Copies of this chain bind each other. A is one copy, B any other.
Amino acid sequence: MSDRREFKDLVSPEVAHETIETLELDPGTEEITLSNADGRILAERIDATLDVPGFDRASMDGYAVNARDTFGADEADPVVLEQIDAVHAGTTPSVEVVPGTCAEISTGAVMPPGADAVVIVERTDEQTAGETTEIEIRTSVAPGDSVMAAGADIAAGARAIGPGTVLTPREIGLLAALGYKSIPVRAKPRVGIVSTGDELVRPGQELDSSRGQIYDVNSDTIAAGVREAGGNPVLYPHAGDDYDEMERLLRTAADECDLVLSSGSTSASAVDVIYRVIEDRGELLLHGVSVKPGKPMLVGRMGQSDGGESAYVGLPGYPVSALTIFTTFVAPAIRDAAGIPEPVTATTSGQMATVERYSEGRTRLMPVGLVENSDRDTLVYPVDKGSGATTSLVEADGIVTVDADTSYLDRGEQVTVELFSPNVRAPPLLGVGEDDPLLNQLLDALTNPRYLPLGSREGIRRLRNGVPDIAVVAGPQQAEVDAIDIGGWSREWGFVVPAGNPDAVTGIESLVEEELQFVNRETNSGLRTSFSSAIGEYADAAGVDRHEVVSAISGFEFGLKAFESPARRVHAGRADVSLGLKETADRLGLSFVSLGTQPVRIFVNPDRLQKASVGHLTELLETIETLTDSFSGYEP
């Protein structure tokens, strides 16, 4: 087994881009039917192989003639021709129009042989002479008059569509007109995704948390990114610690794919296997890039069993980091190989909403979120400062690249954001604050709001920084912030206990006096603030120090994230008492000991009052009575 490498030779992001550009990903061409062709890239020039229309076509109703027979004819001196046929749309002319004759013809019909013009019916008269019908022609016509010549729309041999054209409905229409049922397009590069974390389980399978398993996030995220970039992702899931099996998978992926990505590798042994396979079968082109995140990025190439070559790029393990490196370095290479132009919406620009300082001394790929102000200017704020949280995936809209020598980005500075998907756009509403079930229902009624349930305190803090549109604040916390209160509700809070309240919990005194395992909410939550106030009042009434009360409560310091999480621990039998809402206790079938009610208020950033989404939310709050009715313990 090869030694674990140190990342001593970090290359610049530019060198990493250049190295990836040298990789051979060309998937060749494939033939597809027209009905699957939209969005694909035409591989070769298509010339017209037939005339459209394919026949000389009468464009008026009248008589098909040889124009020379009409020369000199006028109202005063008409020419008389013998009618020898009548041709209608959808029929085949059966007789040749020889000099001295003509054929009745209708619009869209095929011109009979010998005829080169149509005299419109209005300039003719029909006369019967015995067995023959004679037509008096009262005008002279030139060859081609009232005839759409074969090929007048598209001529056989003409260049129709060039190679590299993105096929949209109109190109597909032209190809249909030329009779193509299938066409050659650039094939989609096959991109293998090998997941290498021992603890990873595929979504849909059973998760054994007691063994520390988690779901594999990166495989599906990157697969979706591959599809958006015009590639064809192939998942090679791997779990467990069988490294021979993993080596076999990697070799299979290299044989079957134009590019192999690995992601989620956290164990040293997994990285060793990757090194070994690349060095056995190809070449490691770089290991380590001077960029944050993504420092341990690997790039290499591997020979295929059939003599071809597959490329390899190793992505970091944290979801946002993996998507960042994929978007910045890998997606452009896949698009190139697929022949797809960069989407118009691949980037957007905006102003920094906050001041940011940097001291890393290497290029930083900063995940950012977007929000619009009332003037529809886009504001950009950093998210996920290395937390590795999965939730920050949906908070991050894209990446701002900050050069290694930039130490400072000022508020209002213009930056370019590389979006995580061409379908990403600034959310119509950005909110931060308390987690609340009624609020969740309000959010469902809005169009794609982004709400970060980080607690009332964090909501106030961020609103003060001017980033979100709204902050939702619960509890006695004073909103020391320049903001507009657009409404709210109150909710009953207290202790959630097992059904029937087996420990006969009556209030804070039960937690202090008895050996009960308590579960708290995190410190930023308004529930926690109200609880802290209640403890202060309890301590004052009992004439003891607040800290004494707190330290007598087993589990006080252990605060959970969502409003429902502590109650779920009680429900699961892992705690005796939790901080929570009456609504949660009722919904989960648990018992409840009320400690009071607290207000939940929605504060709007004064810069955002004119936003349509804020207007919509304000309207919804006017009907709050109907909403509070369906939540136990809620009042308008």
Contacts and interface: CB of A to CB of B under 8 A. Distances in A.
Interface in A549-593: 555, 557-565, 568
Given A157-B563, A176-B219, A390-B52, A558 B143 contact: yes
Interface string A155-187: 111110111111111111111111111100000
A393 B155 contact: no
A463 interface: no
Contacts of A182: 204
Contacts of A157: 562-565, 568
Contact of A203 (B167, B176, B323): B176
A319 interface: yes
A420 B217 contact: no
Given A165-B448, A224-B168, A391-B153, A562 B90 contact: no
Contact of A54 (B50, B209, B394): B209
Contacts of A217: 173-174, 176-177
Contact of A164 (B156, B179, B323, B448): B448
Interface string A231-253: 00101000001000000000000
Given A169-B225, A394-B171, A555-B143, A155 B209 contact: no
Contact of A34 (B38, B151, B168, B220): B220
Contacts of A564: 155-158
Looking at A55, A159, A424, which has the most chain B CB atoms within 10 Å of its CB? A159
A478 interface: no
A299 interface: no
A390 B153 contact: yes
B565 A176 contact: no
A561 B151 contact: yes
A51 B210 CA distance: 13
A143 B557 contact: yes
Nearest to A222: B169
Interface size class of A (residues with CB under 8 A): 35 or more
A82 B164 CA distance: 70
A465 interface: no
Contacts of A176: 203, 215-217, 219-221
Nearest to A210: B92
A546 interface: no
Contact of A209 (B35, B55, B116): B55
Contacts of A51: 565
Contacts of A202: 181
A504 interface: no
Contacts of A211: 90-92, 110
A210 B176 CA distance: 19
Interface string A117-156: 0000000000000000000000000111000011111111
Contact of A221 (B90, B164, B173): B173
A458 to B, nearest CB: 15
Closest 6 CB pairs between A and B? A181-B204, A155-B562, A157-B564, A54-B209, A173-B221, A168-B421
24 contacts: A35-B235, A54-B214, A55-B212, A90-B198, A90-B241, A92-B210, A110-B212, A143-B558, A151-B565, A153-B389, A156-B564, A157-B563, A157-B564, A158-B562, A159-B451, A164-B448, A165-B448, A169-B420, A169-B421, A174-B217, A174-B394, A176-B221, A177-B215, A177-B319
